Amino acid sequence: MDGLFNIALTEAPMYRPGHYGVALLTYTPIAMLSSAVITTQTVIIGGVITIAVAMLPDIDLRLPFVRHRGITHTVWFAGIVGVLLAIVVAVTTGWFKLAIYLGGVATLSVCSHLLADAVTPMGIRPFEPFWSPRYSLDIVLSENPIANYGLFGAGITVSVSVAAITFHWI
- Concatenated DSSP letters of the chain: ---HHHHHHHS-TTTHHHHHHHHHHHHHHHHHHHTTTS-HHHHHHHHHHHHHHTTGGGGGGTSTT--TTSGGGSHHHHHHHHHHHHHHHHHHH--HHHHHHHHHHHHHHHHHHHHHHHTSSS-B-TTTTT----B----S-TT-HHHHHHHHHHHHHHHHHHHHHHTT--
Q: What is the pLDDT of residues 121-167, one digit of tens each?
A: 999 999 999 999 999 999 999 999 999 999 999 999 999 999 999 88
Q: What is the pLDDT of residues 13-29, one digit of tens each?
A: 459 999 999 999 999 99
Domain ranges for the chain, please list them: 15-166
Question: What number is the average pLDDT over the span 48-54?
Answer: 98
Q: What is the pLDDT of residues 96-125, one digit of tens each?
A: 999 999 999 999 999 999 999 999 999 999
Q: What is the pTM of this model?
A: 0.88
Q: Give the model's pLDDT for residue 139.
A: 95
